[in-house]
Amino acid sequence: MAPPKDDIDGLDRKIILELQKDWRRTYHVIGKKLKVSEGTVRKRVLRLIEKGILHIQAMVNPFAFQHKVAALVAVTVIGKESKKTMETIAKIPCVTSLWSATGRYDFFFELMVDSLNELNEVVFEQIFREIKGISRTETFVTLTSENKLYKLS
């Protein structure tokens, strides 16, 4: 039975794993390794990108920079404003990822800034004071990461 249209099959998964190892690898090289044609790999990658399943982008390791600060912020909102609040926070350039969760917090976001002063400015001035509906935040400064990469803002 064929997988649902927005699902990935075994070949899609293998292609994604190859791209995760080295995104610069050509479709020809990936195809040769997986024993499929270059055209098959190209079509699969384009389909995965079009469906929003795969994103190919340059990411940075904030710990390779001398003056970058990465943090995780947990947020609790008042009432049912979670979605609207998340949409507003997602527009802030230094926010690198955002997701809702179960538990005592309504959602979390990660950000990367140039200094602790900028972290304070973004979290307390730009977010906590200016965005209505936030009742509480808790900020965790990231000290190290073995596998997390960020978008440069």
CA-based R_g, the chain, Å: 19
Rounded to whole angstroms, what are the CA distances from 124 to 14, 118, 120?
43, 10, 6
Mean pLDDT for 89-100 is 92
- As a whole number of angstroms, the distance between CA 152 and CA 96 comes to 8
pLDDT band at 150 (very low <50, low <70, confident <90, very high): low
74 and 110, same domain (yes or no): yes
Q: Is 70 exceeded by the pLDDT of residue 92?
A: yes
> Does residue 66 sit in the same domain as residue 125?
yes
What confidence tens digit (pLDDT) does each residue in 35-70 have?
999 999 999 999 999 988 888 877 766 667 666 888
For residue 121, the enclosing domain spans: 62-141
Domain shared by 133 and 110, yes or no = yes
Share above pLDDT 70 across residues of the chain, in percent, rounded to a whole number: 86
Number of domains in the chain: 2
- Rounded CA separation 43/71 (Å): 37
Report the distance separating Cα 147 and Cα 94, nearest Å.
19
- Indicate whether 99 pLDDT > 70: yes
Amino acid at 15: I
Judge whether 71 and 109 are in contact, CB under 8 Å: no
CATH code of the domain containing 21:
1.10.10
Residues 68 and 130 in one domain: yes
Residues 67 and 126 in one domain: yes
pTM > 0.75: yes or no: no
